[in-house]
C-alpha cells in the first residue's frame, strides 16, 4: 500500500509568528529592547544640561559610528514595527474571540494606559521618524536653523518653535502611558502578579514611566522657559 495521501482539509502547522504565544513573545522581546534604548537615549539627551561641549561630543561619537549607527536605527525601527503589528494583531484576535459586543462597554479592571496601547504605538513611531528627520538628518527643521554637528544649537533652535516642543511633549507622554502598561505586563509575565504585590508593582511601573517622561520633556520645557539657551 502506498504512502497516505494528504487530505485536502488538512490544516498546516501553525508557525511561531502565527501563534498567539509567539506574538506575545515578540511583544515581550521587542518591548524589552525598546525599553533599554529609551533609557540609553534619555541619558544621552540629558547631557544638554551639562554643557554644549558634552552633548556635541556625544553627537560626534554617535556620528563616528557611521553605518553601525544607521544599522542600529534600522533595527530599532523594525523592532517598533514588529511590536506594533504584534500588538494590533493580538487585539484583533482577542476581539474576534468575542464576536458579540457588550451591550454596555465599561473599562473594568483596565487603566487608561492599557486602553491606549493600540493607538499610542503608531503615534510614537510617527514621532520617532519626525524626530530623526528633524534633529539627525536636518530635513525637517521648521522655522529653525540646522548646523551639521552642532547638536546643542540644533536642539535649542528646534525646541524654541513652540509647536515642535508641544508635539514632542505629547508624544513622550503617550510613550509614558505605553511604558507604564508595558512594564506592568512585563512584571506580570515574570510572576509578580500576586495580589500582595500588584499594587506595588503597578506603582513601580508608573514611577519608572514617570521618571522617563520627566527626563525627556525636561529639555523642551527648559528651552521654552529660557533655562537652556
H or E segment to which residue 39 belongs = helix 20-45
Q: Would you give the DSSP letter of residue 134? A: I
Using CA atoms of 125, 129, 134, 136 in order, give the dihedral in degrees to the nearest 10.
110
Q: Which of 68-82, 87-101, 102-116 has the lowest mean pLDDT?
A: 102-116
Cβ neighbours, 10 Å, residue 184: 23
What per-residue confidence (pLDDT) applies to 72? Answer: 86
CA 7 from chain centre, in angstroms, equals 45
pLDDT band at 192 (very low <50, low <70, confident <90, very high): low
Contact 175, 120 (CB under 8 A): yes
Per-residue pLDDT of 122-181, as tens digits, reads: 677 777 777 777 676 666 666 667 777 788 988 888 888 898 899 889 888 888 888 887
Cell numbers for 88: 494590533
The residue ranking higher by pLDDT, 79 or 131, is 79
Per-residue pLDDT of 27-39, as tens digits, reads: 888 888 888 988 9
Contact 34, 41 (CB under 8 A): no
Cβ neighbours, 10 Å, residue 69: 14
Mean pLDDT for the chain overall? 78
What per-residue confidence (pLDDT) applies to 106? Answer: 46
Mean pLDDT of 45-73: 87
What per-residue confidence (pLDDT) applies to 9? Answer: 58
Q: Would you give the DSSP letter of residue 169? A: H
CA distances (Å), origin 114, targets 4, 149, 182: 49, 39, 8
What per-residue confidence (pLDDT) applies to 2? Answer: 52
The residue ranking higher by pLDDT, 63 or 103, is 63
What per-residue confidence (pLDDT) applies to 99? Answer: 56
pTM of the predicted protein model = 0.76
What per-residue confidence (pLDDT) applies to 158? Answer: 85
Rounded CA separation 82/170 (Å): 23
Amino acid at each position: 500500500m502506498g504512502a497516505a495521501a494528504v487530505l485536502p482539509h488538512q490544516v498546516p502547522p501553525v508557525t511561531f509568528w502565527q501563534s498567539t504565544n509567539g506574538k506575545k513573545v515578540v511583544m515581550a522581546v521587542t518591548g524589552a529592547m525598546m525599553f533599554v534604548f529609551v533609557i540609553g537615549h534619555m541619558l544621552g539627551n540629558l547631557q544638554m544640561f551639562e554643557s554644549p561641549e558634552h552633548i556635541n561630543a556625544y553627537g560626534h561619537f554617535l556620528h563616528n559610528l557611521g553605518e553601525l549607527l544607521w544599522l542600529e536605527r534600522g533595527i530599532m525601527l523594525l523592532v517598533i514595527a514588529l511590536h506594533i503589528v504584534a500588538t494590533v494583531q493580538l487585539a484583533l484576535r482577542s476581539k474576534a474571540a468575542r464576536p458579540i459586543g457588550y451591550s454596555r462597554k465599561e473599562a473594568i479592571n483596565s487603566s487608561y494606559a492599557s486602553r491606549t496601547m493600540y493607538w499610542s504605538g503608531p503615534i510614537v513611531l510617527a514621532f520617532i521618524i519626525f524626530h530623526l528627520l528633524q534633529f539627525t538628518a536636518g530635513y525637517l527643521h521648521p522655522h529653525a536653523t540646522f548646523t551639521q554637528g552642532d547638536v546643542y544649537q540644533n536642539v535649542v533652535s528646534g525646541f524654541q518653535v513652540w509647536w515642535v516642543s508641544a508635539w514632542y511633549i505629547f508624544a513622550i507622554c503617550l510613550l509614558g502611558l505605553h511604558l507604564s502598561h508595558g512594564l506592568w505586563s512585563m512584571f506580570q509575565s515574570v510572576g509578580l502578579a500576586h495580589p500582595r504585590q500588584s499594587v506595588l508593582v503597578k506603582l513601580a511601573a508608573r514611577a519608572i514611566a514617570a521618571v522617563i517622561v520627566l527626563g525627556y520633556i525636561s529639555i523642551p520645557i527648559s528651552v521654552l522657559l529660557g533655562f537652556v539657551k
